[in-house]
Amino acid sequence: MTHHEPPTVTKSFVRFEQQHILPIPESERTGTSRSVFSIWMSLNMMPLAVVTGAIASGAYGLPVIWSIVAIVTGNVIGAFGAALHASQGPHLGIPQMLQARAQFGYLGASIFALIAFIMFMGFFAGILIVAKDAVIAVFPEFNGTVAILVFAAIGIVLCVFGYDLLRKTMAWLSVIIGVAVALSMILFAGVPEVAVASAEASFNAEGFFSMLAIGVVWQLAYAPYVSDYTRYLPKKTGPKTAFWSTYLGLVISSVFVMSLGVLLGAVNPDNPLAALGEFLGPIGLVVLIIFAVSSALINGVELYSAVMNALTVMQSNFKVVISSRVRVVTTIVSGGVATLIALLGQGDFMAMFDQFLTLLLYVLIPWSAINLVDYFIIRKGEYKVGDLFDETGGSYGRWNAVGLWSYGLGLLAQVPFMITPLYTGPMAGPLQGIDIAWMVGFIATGAIFLILHRTMAKNKVLEPIV
């Protein structure tokens, strides 16, 4: 880069992504607490969040008030963990999952970057399907495949430009979609059918705690990429600002939109989005169109983080030099594959997505516990960032046995409590179908990681590296 380039980039309306997975230099840290808040505020305001909220009243048959209590509780708990991950961004300046190299080793972290990549691809595909459903609810004659392809193209283009365009898009989108959701909530709360459906429903513990767990996983699903955006905050911004701008954006928006989903699911559990048009007429149809368009824009954020993880895996395992060309090609290929998944998965989406969220929770929880214990208790934020990009692993090694063993044992700790369509643990019965595997997994993994690390330190083997 020559000394003539920075002024040219600065004058451009949109900065083309240049840093990719590299640490963000202070001169390029253009983020603000407002931009971070806008990103997370707008990211949750999509039809996928509506559909997720509708699971409470639709699939589990909970009354409206208990559905909202479960959603609020779950999101408040889950967002706390996600925001703690976000607070690491201004200090380290690197993508979230790349930092996993400090806990699992240069190559070991690739396992978790790959898991996160699959997760983001799943969300990209899921958002496309729900956005298509929103369009079909307004224009039944419209071709669903064409809708998916158009929305996918918009998300891919945004992702190709990178962080700066995504940040600016989310800023104004959060205002537009926020007004649409608020208006829908006010109008739909007065629909008589909602009160009737809620009165006929009854509280059940399984449904309540299942929705609470869904709220937790909804927020923790953001944990693997919250630092992808807070890394653009100036270092002097500090962890508190990164934490609260992320936390408030995540909680306010998710509770807001999922609660709308509860109301819609109460009157139309099979197709909650269609209820907007059925009960709110032209206003509901306009909101559906806004939802559909916003989803296409929001999806750029999901794909961006998928690409960050793909680049991390490629650099770690295949020694690929990460350039703008590599990032753009990876973006197009990843977006294309996720679009194909969406085209093939348009059937029974609600059931598949519910299962996806459950499995996601089980695999994310141990990683989250290890990262937070390592960052806040063991290292207290002190990392050798240069070593994270050293293909020998530097001081962190290529495979870190403590992190990997802790993760494996944390997964095993959840098994007796798991509740999935394929497997139900022996503790599910005594607990009356209440899924607490995520709680057990978090506590057990964090404790195991801390004990193993301190044991090795006591024996003067600070990093058991393979």
Q: What confidence score (pLDDT) does residue 4 get?
A: 44
Q: What confidence score (pLDDT) does residue 57 get?
A: 92
Which of 108-117, 372-381, 421-430 is least confident? 421-430
Q: Is pLDDT above 90 for 357?
A: no
Q: Is pLDDT above 50 for 65?
A: yes
Q: What confidence score (pLDDT) does residue 248 get?
A: 96
User: What is the domain partition of the chain in residue ranges?
Assistant: 30-458
DSSP 379: S
Q: What confidence score (pLDDT) does residue 354 get?
A: 62
Helix, strand, coil percentages (3-state) for the chain, rounded to 5, are: 75, 0, 25
Q: Is pLDDT above 80 for 412?
A: yes
For the segment 412-416, the average pLDDT, to the nearest whole number, is 96
The candidate with the shortest Cα–Cα distance to 127, out of 330, 364, 341, 359, is 341
Q: Is pLDDT above 80 for 24?
A: yes
Q: What confidence score (pLDDT) does residue 449 get?
A: 97
CA distance 363 to 360: 5
Which of 40-49, 108-117, 197-206 is least confident? 40-49
Most confident option among 57-61, 89-93, 163-167, 419-423: 89-93
Percent of the chain surpassing pLDDT 90? 51
pLDDT range class, residue 167, cuts 50, 70, 90 = confident
For the segment 253-281, the average pLDDT, to the nearest whole number, is 92
Q: What confidence score (pLDDT) does residue 462 get?
A: 52
Chain segment 217-251, per-residue pLDDT in tens? 889 888 888 998 899 999 999 999 999 999 999 99
Q: In three state form, how does the secondary structure of 268-327 look?
A: CCCCCCHHHHHHHHHHHHHHHHHHHHHHHHHHHHHHHHHHHHHHHHHHHHHCCCCCHHHH
- DSSP-assigned states of every residue in 86-123: HTTHHHH-S-TGGGGHHHH-TTHHHHHHHHHHHHHHHH
154 neighbors 381 (Cβ within 8 angstroms): no
Give me the sign of the Cα torsion angle 302, 304, 307, 309: negative
For the segment 139-150, the average pLDDT, to the nearest whole number, is 92
Amino acid at 190: G
Most confident option among 13-22, 308-317, 421-430, 450-459: 308-317
Q: What confidence score (pLDDT) does residue 340 get?
A: 92
Q: Is pLDDT above 50 for 133?
A: yes
Alpha helices in 139-200 (DSSP H): 144-161, 163-188, 192-200
Q: What confidence score (pLDDT) does residue 420 get?
A: 82
**Tokens describing residue 286:** 């306009």
Q: What confidence score (pLDDT) does residue 212 get?
A: 93
pLDDT range class, residue 171, cuts 50, 70, 90 = confident
Q: What confidence score (pLDDT) does residue 378 get?
A: 95
For the segment 135-153, the average pLDDT, to the nearest whole number, is 92
Q: How much is the mean pLDDT over the chain?
A: 88
Q: Is pLDDT above 90 for 451?
A: yes
DSSP 429: T
Percent of the chain surpassing pLDDT 70? 93
Q: What confidence score (pLDDT) does residue 377 get?
A: 96
CATH label, 30-458, candidates 1.25.50.10, 2.60.40.10, 3.40.640.10, 1.10.4160.10: 1.10.4160.10
Q: What confidence score (pLDDT) does residue 460 get?
A: 55
pLDDT range class, residue 137, cuts 50, 70, 90 = confident
